[in-house]
Structure 1
Amino acid sequence: MRRPKAKLPRRPGFLAPRRRWWWVLAAAVVAIGLGAYALSAPVKAFEEADAERFEHGDATRGQVIFALGDCASCHSTPGQQDRLRLGGGMALTSPFGTFRPPNISPDPQDGIGRWRGIDLANALVSGVSPAGQHYYPALPYTSYARMRPEDVADLWAYLRTLPPVQGRVPPHELPLIFKLRRAIGFWKLLFLEREPIVEDPSKDAAWNRGHYLVEAVTHCAECHSSRNILNAIKPETRFAGGPDQEGVGFVPNITQAKLEGWSREDMVTLLTTGWTPDGRKVASSMADVVVNTASVPREEREAIAAYILSQPPRPTPKP
């Protein structure tokens, strides 16, 4: 009769190979999840120690930044003529759904009346709300991220002079997958740059001013460029035009590929009246931009013209 084999005693802490791999895999998944959670966290550009620097701006200068930043075009209350009633609510359609710009009037309940200047700074420069959530890049903070803190302080001073508007806007209308704001943190890691605009000593003062305004404040490239599958600007199409984000046309090329022969005065005239050198008048969202640029001092329009007309020719992307 064959004697049964004696079972070997199991060493303390010993796991079968298959079970051990499951534990390794589970630990790896947890580590990756924690790492992803940390990487996607909203990061504010300014901390509490910076708060005071945003509370003493100049509202007169802030009015110019407000106009150049095109704030009223998105945030004014639809259905009325007062561009300074910033109740929000306009429907901005996009390939990802419909966004609704918020109420940014000084109303303490429905607007930003309880904000501080640092809250506005972190919204514009970091794309982060006072509650610590990511904003969608429908707010063009990829451009505003390069704004100078003093301009943000001036803008904040001006916003506080405007009338409060009651009423909260409807929520964004987005597919479920795009409601996961935490994922925006990964998008920011790829596409959000905060390097300040550095003056070029080889250029004149108008060009340097225009460089700052166009790239950081007026955010011209946000419309006049094509975008990749992740909705970020394709560098090779910067200012070369592209499909309108709302799907209603094609935004024109504003490089020397299309503006060759334009003088600075031609561009200043367009930014003042909306008329091009060949007798056409701008329409759609650009007409609203002209309302804003026409309201600022002429030297600001001259600066924008100097920079735009210096852009090298780039081919217009195919629709």
Structure 2
Amino acid sequence: MGVGAKLATGLALTAALGGAAFWYLTEPVRLDAAELAALPDGDAAAGERIFWAAGCASCHAAPGSSGEAMLELAGGVELESEFGTFIAPNISTDAQHGIGGWTLGDFANAVKQGVSPEGTHYYPAFPYTSYSRMRDEDVANLFAFMQTLPAVASDAPGHQVSFPFTVRRGIGLWKRLYLNDEPQVDLAGAVDQVLAGQYLVEALGHCGECHTPRAVTGGLDTSAWLGGRPNITPGGDIADWSEDDIAYYLESGFTPDFDSAGGRMAAVIRNMAQVPAEDREAIAAYLKAIPAVESVAEPESDDAFRAD
């Protein structure tokens, strides 16, 4: 065999090995059979609280929805990013256009692993890197509640992304960096109220998805946890707010200076106003207990505290 042929063979072998490694490392990882079998029966009444705390309507109700329309999960909200514009899909109970044909296992894999029933990766505009911390009973309760919501027979537009981000398989590598179920901050020894707030903020409310700076890869820079724009740590934009101020803001949308929530935060307030008062108080206690981030790490992207 000549030198050229040997070189070609070597390159082909290297390419094959590289391709095999990429395929292995990017394989969508589902919950294992034991985890799926252990999922409890859901309680729809308990799931309503999870629905609002998790902000499902903020993205999956039609843009501008309020009142009962927030329960019609037709999708359509646009989430702009440096990687393209992602459109929230229909997750209503319609079997053809939504998730009406899903099992609880399908739902758990989507929420906690970012994997579709067909075995493909979801884009992380769907905040499964936060929802991965959800308790199994809350996943089951949320699914049970969502089964009670109306079917909407329409499709949301597709995502607007360009190559190479159209290759979803590559998200598997990204997940290896950013998908886990570990706490974002160490609050060992904290009182129960703070720990309850940690779960609400880090898992259900996925607050870090908007309030934490991102690395160039699109993953959260957790060294500045909740220190983006606005910075909602004890060293940031709400440093002089009391716990009562924070809880009231989450209920009413009004700041201590009588401004009101704007931008995407207005939709968050509509959700948070539906949860029990003790949940809002727990969130406030957590936000006062986390490490302070003294400097703003990225440009402001959402006017969360402006008068609207």
Q: Under a length normalisation based on structure 1, what TM-score does the superposition of the two structures give?
A: 0.87
C-alpha distance in 1, partners of 2:63/2:222? 33
Which secondary structure does the structure 2 equivalent of 1:177 belong to? Answer: coil
Equivalence for 2:306: none
Equivalence for 2:231: 253
1:317 maps to a residue whose letter is A
Equivalence for 2:209: 222
Tell me if the contact between 2:74 and 2:89 (Cα under 8 Å) persists in the aligned partners.
yes
**Pair 1:80–1:68, CA change in 2 (3 A):** closer
Equivalence for 2:53: 68
Tell me if the contact between 1:268 and 1:301 (Cα under 8 Å) persists in the aligned partners.
yes
Could you list the per-position Cα deviations for residues 195-220 of structure 1 after superposition, in whole angstroms to 9, with x for gaps in the alignment?
37899552111011111111111011
> 5 Å matches for 1:1-319?
15-44=1-30, 46-54=31-39, 56-78=41-63, 80-81=65-66, 82-195=69-182, 202-241=189-228, 251-258=229-236, 259-314=238-293, 315-319=295-299
Tell me if the contact between 2:235 and 2:292 (Cα under 8 Å) persists in the aligned partners.
yes
C-alpha distance in 1, partners of 2:231/2:128? 22
C-alpha distance in 2, partners of 1:48/1:192? 20
Which secondary structure does the structure 2 equivalent of 1:99 belong to? Answer: strand
Could you list the per-position Cα deviations for residues 116-174 of structure 1 after superposition, in whole angstroms to 9, with x for gaps in the alignment?
11111111111100000000000011111111111100100100010111111121111
Equivalence for 1:246: none
2:271 maps to a residue whose letter is N
Which secondary structure does the structure 2 equivalent of 1:92 belong to? Answer: strand
Moved >6 Å (runs of 4+)? 196-199
Tell me if the contact between 1:146 and 1:197 (Cα under 8 Å) persists in the aligned partners.
no
Tell me if the contact between 1:197 and 1:212 (Cα under 8 Å) persists in the aligned partners.
no
Unaligned 5+ runs, structure 1: 1-14, 242-250
**Pair 1:223–1:197, CA change in 2 (3 A):** closer
What RMSD over aligned residues (CA atoms) do the two structures have, in Å? 1.9
Farther off after superposition, 48-57 or 68-77? 48-57
Larger Rg: 1
C-alpha distance in 2, partners of 1:207/1:228? 28
Q: Under a length normalisation based on structure 2, what TM-score does the superposition of the two structures give?
A: 0.90
Q: CA deviation at 1:276?
A: 1.5
Unaligned 5+ runs, structure 2: 300-308
Which secondary structure does the structure 1 equivalent of 2:85 belong to? Answer: strand
Q: CA deviation at 1:280?
A: 1.8
C-alpha distance in 2, partners of 1:115/1:151? 17
In percent, how many aligned pairs have the same letter?
Answer: 43
Which secondary structure does the structure 2 equivalent of 1:83 belong to? Answer: helix
Tell me if the contact between 1:105 and 1:162 (Cα under 8 Å) persists in the aligned partners.
yes
C-alpha distance in 2, partners of 1:105/1:29? 43
C-alpha distance in 1, partners of 2:188/2:4? 66
**Pair 1:122–1:196, CA change in 2 (3 A):** farther
Which secondary structure does the structure 2 equivalent of 1:257 belong to? Answer: coil
Farther off after superposition, 104-113 or 168-177? 168-177
Tell me if the contact between 1:226 and 1:233 (Cα under 8 Å) persists in the aligned partners.
yes
C-alpha distance in 2, partners of 1:275/1:25? 63
Q: CA deviation at 1:68?
A: 0.8
C-alpha distance in 2, partners of 1:272/1:32? 52
**Pair 1:255–1:170, CA change in 2 (3 A):** same
Q: CA deviation at 1:309?
A: 1.3
Equivalence for 1:10: none
Tell me if the contact between 2:184 and 2:225 (Cα under 8 Å) persists in the aligned partners.
no
Q: CA deviation at 1:92?
A: 2.0
**Pair 1:205–1:80, CA change in 2 (3 A):** closer
Farther off after superposition, 71-80 or 288-297? 71-80
Q: CA deviation at 1:40?
A: 0.6
Which secondary structure does the structure 1 equivalent of 2:80 belong to? Answer: strand
Tell me if the contact between 1:55 and 1:153 (Cα under 8 Å) persists in the aligned partners.
yes
1:214 maps to a residue whose letter is V
